[in-house]
Chain A
Amino acid sequence: MNALLMIAWRSGWNRRATLALVAFSIGLSTFLLLGFERVRADLRESFSQSVSGTDLIVGARTGGVQLMLYSVFHVGGATNNIRMDSVRAIEQNKSVGWVVPLSLGDSHLGFPVLATTPGFFEHFQYGYRQHLALASGRLFDGSLDELYDTVVGAEVADALGYKLGQKITLSHGAGGPGGIEHADKPFTVVGILQRTGTPVDRTVHISLEAMEAIHLDWAGGAPMPGVAIPAAMARKFDLAPKQVTAALVGLKSRAAVFGVQRFVADYPQEALMAVLPGVALDQLWDVVGAGEKALLALSALVAVVSFAGLVAVILAGLNERRRELAVLRAIGAGPRQVLMLLLAEGSLVALLGVGIGAILVAASTVGLGPWIQSQYGIVLSAAPPSDEEWKRVGEIVLAGIVASLIPAWRAYRLSLVDGLSPRV
């Protein structure tokens, strides 16, 4: 058996140029299949990590998935704001333990700004019931003295090199060229949160009152010409928020969740909706699942194409190797050995390809991981292959062995009848 593998290897080495190309194409399709699996698993992981301990998310009526996406993941936009007095009414519901209002819309150098109450840092949880924790500095308490204080996520601090005491200005809306800065009311970074692997890392947190203050001299989404309220003066105005984007709700008893959901949906003064985060996420996966299926099918097709390439190259090689196989037969190799030889060759190339693919995946998660995290907020784990990935590797190798059966069987058939016939 070992001798056979040795012969297969040496013979393959003779044709290394073509076989390496085939191995590389199998490597690329392995990369596609494994990389896709890795991204899929990590995407789900980071989404389901992102919220915990929150029983309901309340917002203006829209789709459940959309409400979840913009309030927790800061993806997409809100259809409408909700009034603060509605939020207070929900807070007064007897089943409700806490409510954290969220106000979104501004940004800082591409990072979303979230205006909220100090209760956010107390109640918001991620992963499995983990609370947010400060890496350095302190939180803001929502008072007027700390009006222009901001607490930034770990990714914001890392990417922009912020230390405590850093002065920053916020941009209206998504920012970018042509955007309007709230330059007259600079903020001070007073706290930096520990890394969580969730969208909190990419968020600049300010108080709801600060959100009101920076928009005091604004009307209809633009600064009012001729009106400028200096930062210190803003404290003299009524800064109580009138409306917010969404609210996180925690209940005293989780069994009350349907009742409160109904209470919110039937709230007579405003059209509201409440979603259970877990249910909304499952809905999201149902939607994404169809796309995942299509991508998987494409990746599988690419793999089939590269194995077709493997079959074609070895088959084409058979013709050149008539003498080689005839010599083997002459020194006593049976047709079965010829079959095993070809099978070994194909399998070796497939294994080599899978190895190349696995290395490519590992290299790109390590190499591109930080960039993907800063661009898209998805944490790619540089962990050893998961069970699902091992399964996929096994499938690819198995497919390689099945594919190399084709030339092997062909050589077996022909070596019986024509291996030693003295024809040239």
Chain B
Amino acid sequence: MTMEIIFVTGKGGVGKSAVAAALAMQKAQSGRKTLLVELGRESFYQNALNLSAVSYHGVTWPGFPQLEGRFTLALWSGPECLKEYALYLLKIESLYRLFFENPVTRTLIQVAPALPELSIMGKATSGPRRVGPALNYDTIVIDAFATGHFMALLRAPLGMAEAVRFGPMGEQSRSINKVLSNPELCKYVVVAFPEELPVVEGLELAQDIQQTVGIKPTLVMNRWQEISASVLQEHSDEEYLQRFQRHLQRLEQRQNELLALVKENFLPVMLPQIFEVDFSKVVTALTASLSEVKL
């Protein structure tokens, strides 16, 4: 099975995490051993799914015994990725301790430009590069940062390769960059929903990604509401129903305008608005919608 790494991004609040989870779930259901990764210090999924913890090395996504452990969820922070990589490179535990328990290194990690970002990208691409501890997954779905932070993440290896031309760090950066620009290995998904700013920012982001790695992202239009003609045209004497109908008419118009804008450059994947409060139900419903789509 060929390995694939899928980065999911978009403007904040567009439902990235739900889409990333649904995508990972779909991959796992299709028989691929899948890792869903969230980035940062704190886990979003932990709260959303009421899990006791989400760890660096991963926990099984709850409630799907039929997937037989093919769906794992992990939380990666920059410092942890760096630590793992350094341990792999330094090999000797005592040297590693000396290295990491040293105040110089601690401060460096906190502030050194793009080092945590670089480590995250290093870990994400460690499979195809055969560097670092093995990541035995067919698919890695990364619920990545929103717009600006994602571009900083994506550009970190490039920036580092330019800043440090010689030595191992420059070399590593170049090899990471090579994987990130390989369409056979990496896919990018930009999530938006039918409102002006998420769509406009999403389109800009997609363009930035394409310019940086040369791969055209897939655009997902999330929370799309299919509104039937009868709902839009039906006559009602109730004032509140009339108001609600006007709300839907505006929504319909806005949706169509924004979809037309997206379609100028993309063939978007459409995902419906899910009228559920429970996060795992939202993910299950989105997974069902995704099953007809090839990503």
A, B co-complexed: no
What is the interface of chain A, defined by CB distance below 8 A to chain B?
A: none
